[in-house]
């Protein structure tokens, strides 16, 4: 069983389109994240949700809108896609969250490679 799964794995679309990327985790984690990895491999956090509540919203254009229907899912919707949105988007989850303390790192999905043409 895949712990954190993202769909689709590849997405090629034209400028101006609207697209969604889905993420699901079966680890029972409380917190989920979206990261963007650009062409230089730099990883930058975009959003974080804890139990369906938005807790981190970095400086991201409002064309990007995360949605968390339940704590096992965090989807990313992107409106009016631009060339600069081309990147690999990683979903991740972790057990701690606002409760802080205990430890640990994230479990990552395998990524969605978005290409805007």
Partner 1 sequence: AQSVAQPEDQVNVAEGNPLTVKCTYSVSGNPYLFWYVQYPNRGLQFLLKYITGDNLVKGSYGFEAEFNKSQTSFHLKKPSALVSDSALYFCAVRDRRDDKIIFGKGTRLHILP
> Which residues are at the interface with partner 1 (CB under 8 A)?
4, 31, 33, 35, 40-45, 48, 50, 55-56, 90, 92, 96-98, 100-101, 103-111
Q: How near is the Cβ of 16 to partner 1 at its closest, in Å?
A: 28
At 115, give phi and psi (nearest 5°). -120, 120
Task: Output 41 or 62, the one with its CB closest to partner 1.
Answer: 41
Q: How near is the Cβ of 61 to partner 1 at its closest, in Å?
A: 19
DSSP string, 38-96: -TT--EEEEEEEETTEEEEE-S--TTEEEEEEETTEEEEEE-S--GGG-EEEEEEEES-
Q: How near is the Cβ of 89 to partner 1 at its closest, in Å?
A: 11
Contact 106/43 with Cβ under 8 angstroms? no
Task: Output 15 or 43, the one with its CB closest to partner 1.
Answer: 43
Task: Output 12 or 15, the one with its CB closest to partner 1.
Answer: 12
């Amino acid at each position: 069983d895949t712990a954190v799964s993202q769909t689709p794995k590849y997405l090629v679309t034209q400028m101006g389109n609207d697209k969604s990327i889905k993420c699901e985790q079966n680890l029972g984690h409380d917190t989920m994240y979206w990261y963007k990895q650009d062409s230089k491999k730099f990883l930058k956090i975009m959003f974080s949700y804890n139990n369906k509540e938005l807790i981190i919203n970095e400086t991201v254009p409002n064309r990007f809108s995360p949605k968390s229907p339940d704590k096992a899912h965090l989807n990313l919707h992107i409106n009016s896609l631009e060339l600069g949105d081309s990147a690999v988007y990683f979903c991740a989850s972790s057990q701690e969250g606002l409760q802080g303390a205990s430890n640990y790192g994230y479990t990552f999905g395998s990524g969605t490679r978005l290409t805007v043409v």
